[in-house]
Structure 1
Amino acid sequence: MNRHGYDEQTWFTFSYSAVRDDSGAVGGVYCACVEATEQVLGERYRKEENERLVTLFEQAPGIIAVLRGPQHVFEITNKSYLELIGRENLVGKTAREALPDVEGQGFFELLDQVYTSGEPFVGHAVPLTLVRAPGAPPEQLYVDFVYQPIRDPFGTVVGIFVEGSDVTPRKQIEDELRAANRQKDQFLAMLAHELRNPLAPITTAAHLLKLGTLDAKGVRNASEIIARQAEHMTSLVNDLLDVSRVTRGLVTLEKEELDLNEIVAGALEQVRPLIEARRHALTMELSGEPVQVLGDRTRLVQVLSNILNNAAKYTPSGGQIALRVTAHGDRVTVTVTDNGIGIEPDVLPYIFDLFTQAER
């Protein structure tokens, strides 16, 4: 229709009624016509808005669901919600019917509480155990979520709007960081204890030297005590500096071609005094020919000496320590075994993590 100087689409509702004369014969037609353009455009706009909101609802990265009535019947859920719980076709089912494995975890009770009280509930990193696929084992998840009551025009609660997100990866990272901090604190406490131990013999020896009453042999013994304990403290400080460099990414490896037999001999030279002092029996089985590897001489000696040092330290006096080097094609294996206290199985997966320290 052209009524404002341009063609525009219009809509009308109309009816045709027969008009009869006095004899009852049809003498004409009565047409009742009302324009409905505004109503049609308004309905079209509402439909488009609803479709847009449904699309946004479906594509929302967070989990969203709407539950109706006191039985919490699913009215609508988005894709993220279905992916989280590993279910399909929840609409029309009650929460307890749709998610039986959630029973006993407190979520249904919270829905009842929100529906009854009209007060929203906000949960942070709440544990959720789900079986997300038929025959699959239960999975431990963590979710942030909000239960928000839905009210009718009279203020009566008629449903609950559920919104949230899966924070399992974040929770795992936070737990790992907390564990790393605990390990660091334990490591520093142990290091402080180790640094304090040499101070007593150093102080005693220094005091005896200060008195000036020692003979030549006594002076020599006191000096040796101070030198030995100072060397031990220097080693501990160097270890701490190594840890600092590792945590800041400042360690660089100077790679060169090395004979692993020589590396093992160098590490053993550093630890032999401790092995002999604790009267351990050491068995060595080295390769009969050079075993060439590419690595950093200083760091390889350090690694092996640390392993040997732990074997000597945590094996009761008079124990057995075996050191073996075996070559298999292009691979070399260095094995250190002892009959000491060992490492608890639950600690083994973490022994190469920074600051990890088993209970003594």
Structure 2
Amino acid sequence: MSDVAVYGSLFEASPNPYVLVSPSLTIVGCNDAYLRVTARTRADIVGRGIFDAFPGGPNEAQLRSSFDRVLRTKERDSIAVIPYAIAKTTPEGTLLEERFWSATHTPVLDARGDVRLILQHTVDVTELHRLKQAVASGEGTAEALDAAPGPIEQIESDLMRRAQAVQRTNLSLDAELERLHSLFTQAPGFIAVLSGPDHVFDLANDAYYDLIGRRDILGKPIHEALPEIEGQGFHELLDRVFESRQAFVGRDMRLLLRPDPDSPPAEFFLDFVYQPVLRADGGVLGIFVQGHDVTNRKRAQDELLRYQTDLEALVRERTLALEKSEAERAQAEAALRQAQRLEAIGKLTGGVAHDFNNLLQVIGSNLDLLHHDLPADPATTTRRLDSAMGAVQRGARLASQLLAFARKQPLEPRPVSLGRLLRGMDDLLRRALGDEVEVETVIAGGLWSMLADPSQVENVILNLAINARDAMDGSGRLTLEAGNAMLDDFYALRHPEVTAGQYVMLGVSDTGCGMSAEVMERAFEPFFTTKPEGKGTGMGLAMVHGFVKQSGGHVKIYSEVGHGTTVKIYLPRSHQVAEEPVTDPRTGPVAGGTETILVVEDDPQVRAATVEILTGLGYRVLQAGDAQSALAVIRSGVLVDLLFTDVVMPGTLRSPELARRARETLPDLAVLFTSGYTENAIVHGGRLDPGVHLLSKPYRREDLARKIRHLLGNQRQRRIARPGPSAATPMPPPIPPFLASAVQPLGAPTMTKTLAQQPMAPRVLAEEAGTGCHVLLVEDDGIIQASTMDMLESLGHTVTAAADADEAMVELGRGGIDVLFTDIGLPGRSGIELAHEALAHDPTLRVIVASGYGGDIRDGGSEAGLDAVFLPKPYNRNGIRKAFQSLPQPPSGKNRP
């Protein structure tokens, strides 16, 4: 039985009448003795004002004064005698009997010292009062004496004994109350009494304060006194107990409290009971709270349970070890077989693609040569050749898809803006999909950069868009979505192939026919297609899957039959700024040269076709069938400007090693690899090794010409940049007799008109005139940049250098630049784009554009209207001088070169 319950029992058992009133003089409780002497029930008086329950008439003022003194002084106050009429029920009806009372009012203080309750102790002194009145008035003395069992002194003695007995009882009760209060305060369990629907604190013992901290809670509702328990469910429990009048018992209830206001919330576990305190009419006065802090016990139990669980798990693990071993062995064997099968498929796919690309190279090269040898008139022959070349290109795409599925294609990933890429493809997609397909692009704000090969991403988008068009039967809505995505550890657990982290999401959704579950399971398989025969290769989604996996990403299909399909692709986030789209060198001019190229190819037909293309472009060509023979040519002393070698070669000497050894003999040698299947020779982790240049098979004559011209231009520019007595290109030495059979006849070279061949108008040279220009040099190759700066300064010019277009525009913004001298091939934006932007910023600016592609920049349609001087690489000091002499005269107020 709790301490408070004992306290309540003693209060009820007292023979003396007691009543508890609030500071507002509302009766909040009384004992049975009080109800007996007042002839009332609890339902009649509890909850009512004391003067409402007992109208006092003219004596009410005396009683109110006593209550006021207690509230004002917070000390005990007594009334010797006060008359009060008590209503009694008799056979004749309800009669009022006048009684006389002696009352004592004792304040009950709260923790702050304010009066919380007033305890009224009353004693019925009616008989004594009447006896004294009779003796004093002399009325009825004889009858009183006759009726009395003894003399008056005896009567007074009996009354005194009764008074003393009452006094002893009161003293005993006061002691008991004090003891109960001490027990309540010092009880080991926490106790609190809440009143009303707002759960206002009336009482709380020391253990309760130890739990919640020494804070001011009495007289406050619980949500104000303990604000940190909001949202933990305790307010709701109290409301339920108050409304239902049903007790709640909690076990190991978790509670977050802040006993120290300067500390973070602490975790407690409690056992407690919420017991409703009922009035006589069944209404709820408040809630009695009693419980214990069981935090230490709970933690000990949890620790024991953890040890028990660990022990049981260990026992189960040991018990099941033998049973699982066989299953694990079978699973390992199955995984090994699957890995071997996939490896075999990958090697087979790569090998097939390599041989297929070699065949396409032979066919494509000969068709290309034949196409250039034809007269311009025969339309039918040209049409057939174009059709055959189209078939070669389709075969090349199929081979590329095979390599993508096998994750063998060489990727060149860089930071890419998916939003910019999607906007740039808008016209292409609309032309490919037709007018009946509505294209909607949704790009999230704050889109991250992604790390991917942009050309392959474009292929993926186009592939998925065409698949969507076919699924919609040529009419519907295609939605392209770009956004940021976080694939967390939970997602990675459900998808073991996924690495948790930040990704950029590409979503392609259509309103087509959708896929069944069976079709989705096979969607990424190579050559699987639901399209009619001849309408698809079945490699589209297989290519998408291979590319995404090779890029370190994730792909997921969501589809429902009749409701369309969504393909979501997640590519890794890049923390670098996305690069601007680079002008595609494949659209530049086609030009040849007179340098010496060594072609290394084991397939005789491919080698023959390549040699014929190069000789047709004017190059001097040497050839070798393997890497060892090629190295012998290099070490023979013949000057070779560029090594053009297949990656996959027979013999023990691999192509990368051939390139390394060749550069030991010829440090200025440019190297271009080609292959239909790179294996791991120059590609690692799905990416080309740094500094490696690759031309994938099958390639066109124009692609080969532009790539070689670009590499030779940069290579010879570095040769000029190296300090020495002469930067001029040395004459090729005679070919040794033993190599004569390896050298192809030199075709008539295709010469490109450059500045050196143009008639020069007379100019005043900067160094002769003594006045130079302020030149902004934009070149990303450090060696070329340093040597060009030296040559410009030797001509009397002041030079500011920049490595890319963005840095150049910053320098131009500072002003004072007379001439922009820029390379055409820059990271991010090209030199052509920079020149256009610079001229828009300053129309008086004069521009020189250097390029290793050969030809004239004005040959390209996209550069039409650019007023600039073209300077082909490699250039020297004299070439720069002539370029400056060809510049237009500066406007008035500017330097003139």
Whether the TM-score (by the shorter chain) exceeds 0.5 is no
Going by fraction, where is strand more abundant, 1 or 2? Answer: 1
TM-score, normalisation: structure 2: 0.19
* Larger Rg computed on CA atoms: 2
Q: Tell which has more relative contact order, 1 or 2 (C-alpha 8 A, sep 6+).
A: 1
TM-score, normalisation: structure 1: 0.45
